[in-house]
Structure formats: C-alpha cells, structure tokens
Structure 1
C-alpha cells in the first residue's frame, strides 16, 4: 500500500470518527479537529487550520463541512476532499432520513403521534434564540451593523419569501463596503491569479438545475435546485439555514407542517455531524407521496443539494483567498452580510413560534431550553432527550386523567 493511500485511509477514518462523535456545534467541532488532526495526526498546523476555518465562515455553505473538505484538499487534492465530504455527511444524512421515516410512520399509524414532541417543538425555538444570541455577540460590533440587523429582521418578518433573502444579503454587503477605510491596510498585495474551474462548475450546476426543474417539473430535480440554491446563499452556519428552509418548505410550498419541521430541527440538534443534515429530513418528507424509495431519494437529493455548492466554492476560493482577503472592501462587505444573517436568525425565532399555541407549557419549554444552554453544561443531545421524556410523561398523565385514574 502506498504512503498516499495509507494517509487517505487514516484521514478518512478520522473524518468518520468526527462524524460520529462531533456533538455540540461549531466550537466543539473545531476543538475536536485541533485535537485529532493537528495535535495527533499533524495533517495541518493549528495556524493554517484557524485560517481555513475563518475562510469557511465567510463563505456561504456549511462551515464544518467546508473545513473538512479543505483539509482533505490540502492533503490529497480533490479526490480525498470529495471522499471526505461523503464520509462526513453520510452518518447524519442516514440518521435524519431515518427520523423522517419514523415521523411519517408514527403519523400514519398512531393518531396524535407527534405529542411525544410536545416539548421538543418549542425547545427548538429555545435553541434558535440561544444561537441568535451567540451569533449576534460574535458578528455585531457597530451601530451600523445593528441597524442593518434590525432592518433585515423587520423585512424577514413581513416579506418572508425565499427570494428576498439573497437580495438582502447582497444589499447588506454593499452597504458596509463604504467602511473599507476602517479596515487595517495590508501591505504587499500581489495580483490575484484565479482558476475559474470550480466557480464555473458551481454556477453551471445551479443554472442547469434551475432550468431542468422549471421545464420538467420533476420533484427530485426541483428539490435539488431548492437546496442547492439555499446552500449557495447561507452565511452563518446551520442556524441561519433555518429561516430559509422554514419559509420555503413550510410556508411557501407546504411540503411539511410546522410541527414536523420543529420536531426535525430539534432532533437534528441531538445528533453528531453537520447541522445542515436537517435538509435530508426535509427532503425525505417532501417526497413522502412517492413512498419509501421516494423518501430515500428525497433525503439524498437534499443532502447533495445543500452540501455541494459550499464544497465547490471552498475549492474555488481557497486557491486565492490569501490575496483576496488583503483587499479592504472585501473584508468590509462581510460585516453587512453577517448583520443581515443575524437579522434573519432573529426573524426565524418569531416565525417558528407563531404557529405554536401561546400557552404556559410552550413558553416554559422555550425559556427552560435557553436557560439550560446558557447556564448549564448539559450536552445538547441530553437536553433533547429530557424533552422527549417530558413529552411522553405528559401523554401518560393526560391519558390517566382521561381514564379517570
């Protein structure tokens, strides 16, 4: 076995370990990558890893997935990068497709089956509120950014069409480019040499999927285009993805109910791997009328659609990022893009709460979840398990009362 193949094997094995054990969001993920891939294996230096991760954070798409692929690209080129992508997303994709099967089976065979999720549905909103707080604290540092965030939240409240989101992102970036003179000057700028192959691939897939979806009206193709478009526009991670997907698939297209969406989102927070895996759950339920094969196809198509654009873009940008980031208008535009993303996240909390009953149990579930995330060290999966146990217990209590026990 060659040295390269040995290195491929060890790297893919380490990616698989991460995909099965990386609970707790991007901060925990980065710490695990440093431990496994920097300290133990020495695939990359910590400085290079931090820079790659920062680059992935300012690109649209799933940051953790792009980071894994970028490291694989540095080690073994495109082949290892694509293999890394498959190994990283497959476990979470399978789990979320299985979750879609479970939810659909329970609803078909057990009336009121989603009552077990009575508490984890509002708990999902607690997760979003906590994510919004963390994201805002990290990304909003000026009055202008705060104003942009509030305007974006206001627009998303009242004009929650999926087509308004990319427009707001572009406008936000343009608004803050005038602050380029506040960015530190980087000397020794050299000419940027751009290899356009992966960008053409990214744009070509987007246009082809849109055209085919429009003219064929074939649901798997349209789903791929929907998720590919969303994956091309999401700045800020999996939490920012939520308002996009909720608006498009629940409110705009009615492929899922609000209860199904919230249940899936909460469960996605309790499994390891990429948070974008909720897309597989949505894709599977969107094709439930096609039966079991259709749900499998829907889940896989959604996974391909949501993860591929970020992969293409990181391969495109990583080659010239070191030179591009020296230009101050580029760095200034990121402030506006991040501010708009935060505004969308604020709107998501409201939009997801609106369909729920405004009662004591839901309010306490939201507050309790937020408090546990903010003030305790209880791992996220255990919080979801507590919610499921509480929902099952509530069902039994209601049943006993109804029977006069």
Structure 2
C-alpha cells in the first residue's frame, strides 16, 4: 500500500518544479523587463498557474516603485510568495547565474585578448549597435512614462544636467528631484482609504547598514574589491527603471569618472548583454571583472563576484522589506505620484547617455549607419536583439 506524500514532500517537489521553470526562463528570456514580464505571464501564470495574472501585475507594479532590477525583483518576490525568504534567495541565484557567468567569461576573454596584443576589432559593429539599443530603449521608456508637459520638462532637464555634469553623484540628485516634483501633484490620483502600517524594519536596516559599512570600510581601507562592492551596491540602491537606466549611471562612474574600462570596452559589453538571456544587470559582472583585470584571473573572478552581489543585493533587501506592507503603502497618493517624476528623469538620463556614447562615432559614417540601421530594425521588424548582435559579430569577423 502506497502512502500519500507528506505536505513537506509536496512542497519540496513544488519548489523544485518552480526553480526548474525559473532556470528555463533564465536561459530563454531575452530583452528588458517588458519582455521578461510577458515570459513570466506565459510560463508562471498561463502554463503553471503558480499565481493569478493580477498577483503578478501587482508585484511588478511594486517593483517598478523600488530601485533595482525590476524583473529580477519580480521573480524574487514570486519565489518569496511561494516559499518564503529561502526559496526567494535560491530563485534569485538561479535567475541571475547564467547571464552572470556569460558576462564574466566575456570580460575575462576580452582582457586576455588585449593582454596578448590581440584585437577586439570583431566587436566594432557591436559598439554602435549598443548605442542604437540605448536610443530605442530610451524612446520606448519615454513613450510609456511621459504623459504631460511636466514629465517632458523633467526629462529634458535631466538629460541636460547629465550631459553637462558627468558625475555619478548627478544621478541620485536628479532622481530625488524628479520624484519630489511630481509627488506634489498627488491630488489627481484616486484617493484610497488608509490602513494602519505594519512595518518590519529588519530588511531596511540591513540594506542601510550594508550601504554605510561598505562606504566606511572602502574609504578607510582603499581596498578595490570593497570599493567596487560599495559602488555597485550604491548604484543598485538608486537606479529606477531597469537595465537601460543603469547604463548611464555605470558609464559615468566607471568610464568617465574612474576610468576602470575604456569607452570601447563598455560599449562592447553593453552590446553583448543584449544577446544574453536573463537580467540586463548582469552587465555589472562584466564591468567588475574588467575593473580588476590587473589582479589576474582570481582578481577578475573576485571583481565579478563583488559587482554581482553589490548590484543585486540592495533590490533584494528592499523588495523583502516593502513586500510585507505594500498593500498599505500603495494607498498613499504621493507614493504613486512620485513614480511619474522618477520615470521621466530616468528617460532623460538614458537619452544623455546615448548622446555621450554617440558623439565620438558621429564623424564616422559607417558607425552612424550601423546606429541608424539598428534603430530601424528594432522599431520596424520583429528580429530579436540577440540575432542582431550575432549578426553584428559575424559582420565584424568577416570584414
């Protein structure tokens, strides 16, 4: 006589199936948060019925309000909803690992080629393609989030400020001003009845504590791995709107300000990450590895590790913190109103980054043609981004 499986055994089997689905998504989901959301809906809602569509969309809305990688926070929150914090952390690892490994290997490969006097000329068409991707991303984000004159003005001012003052400190200031500006227009949002806030502060204190300790230890020790961790942790705590918005922040800090990698290396990685499944924030792993190339292979692996943990950890802490009282928080109109300004400023930052990266290419008509061709193909065809990048790599090898 067969015994029915116990409840813990059933849960374990369910968790394993869920993680297998997450791995499939990590290996097959290309593009930004919008594409990721469509894939989440198809596999996790329509096929598996882990959640309802309303539950998934509400979690996505919550993650859009928070700094950090939107799709990564969403799938982590889904893991939390099914199995609590432990399953959430494993979900985060499974979702990120394939892209992180690919981008780390690319950075190590690029640095090896350069160290042996090799050429990265085969990447030369991928670099202008990356600018094309950034232009289209900025345009699509702006089309979705800018709905009035205030949003347009905030986007233009943010773009101008980011172009003129190319400092990593410009980003948090611009985002804060944008969110504060539109929060005062909260009256146009629907009024909801408030409920008592039941806030558990542990994860917030953990997020803030790590930020402060990393900054202090990095300043005192001048250790490059610690400073890299602090840099990425701070950026992961400030970026709203996904990987495309992260690009100008990383460029300002690690290329223009600290010179950890060249503009060409940055663009090569930016183009390559478009052809990699999973989170676009895995671009941080590539930058971290190149930032520590002088320390050898072990240094590059360490650089990738601290950058990866730094960029993904703050968003995880914050989603764990806010998820528990999201039902009450979303009822406050200023919170919902502030998102308009944050998104508008993020669009302006993306536009400024595209201009800065395009400037050196402007005198060279082949690069201008590649940028224009990439924009047209993305807007008027259904070719997936990874096929475009593979085509650019092939063209670079042939020519």
TM-score with structure 2 setting the length: 0.96
Q: Deviations over 1:348-373 (max 9, x none)?
A: 10111233362110100100000110
Unaligned runs of 5+ in 2: 1-7
Give the secondary-structure state (helix, strand or coil) at the position aligned to 1:273. coil
Matches within 5 A, 1:54-73: 54-73=61-80
CA distance, structure 1, for counterparts of residue 141 and residue 208 of structure 2: 29
Pick from 99, 104, 107 the counterpart of residue 106 of structure 2.
99
Moved over 3 A (4+): none
Alignment-derived partner of residue 153 in structure 2: 147
CA RMSD in angstroms comes to: 1.1
Residue 208 of structure 2 is aligned to residue 199 of structure 1: no
Cα contact 1:258–1:355 (8 A) shared by 2: no
Give the secondary-structure state (helix, strand or coil) at the position aligned to 1:2. helix
Unaligned runs of 5+ in 1: 395-405
How far residue 29 of structure 1 moved from its aligned partner, in angstroms, is 1.3
CA distance, structure 2, for counterparts of residue 352 and residue 239 of structure 1: 14
How far residue 54 of structure 1 moved from its aligned partner, in angstroms, is 1.2
How far residue 102 of structure 1 moved from its aligned partner, in angstroms, is 1.2
How far residue 300 of structure 1 moved from its aligned partner, in angstroms, is 1.1
How far residue 36 of structure 1 moved from its aligned partner, in angstroms, is 1.4
Give the secondary-structure state (helix, strand or coil) at the position aligned to 1:102. helix
CA distance, structure 2, for counterparts of residue 283 and residue 358 of structure 1: 31
Alignment-derived partner of residue 78 in structure 1: 85
Cα contact 2:29–2:35 (8 A) shared by 1: yes
Alignment-derived partner of residue 364 in structure 1: 369
Cα contact 1:93–1:300 (8 A) shared by 2: no
TM-score with structure 1 setting the length: 0.95
Aligned residue pairs total 392
Pick from 121, 124, 132 the counterpart of residue 115 of structure 1.
121
Pick from 379, 383, 396 the counterpart of residue 374 of structure 1.
379
CA distance, structure 2, for counterparts of residue 315 and residue 322 of structure 1: 14
How far residue 105 of structure 1 moved from its aligned partner, in angstroms, is 1.5
Cα contact 2:194–2:331 (8 A) shared by 1: yes
Alignment-derived partner of residue 21 in structure 2: 14
CA distance, structure 2, for counterparts of residue 135 and residue 207 of structure 1: 32
Q: Deviations over 1:316-353 (max 9, x none)?
A: 11111111111111111111111111110110101112
CA distance, structure 2, for counterparts of residue 61 and residue 178 of structure 1: 24
Alignment-derived partner of residue 141 in structure 2: 135
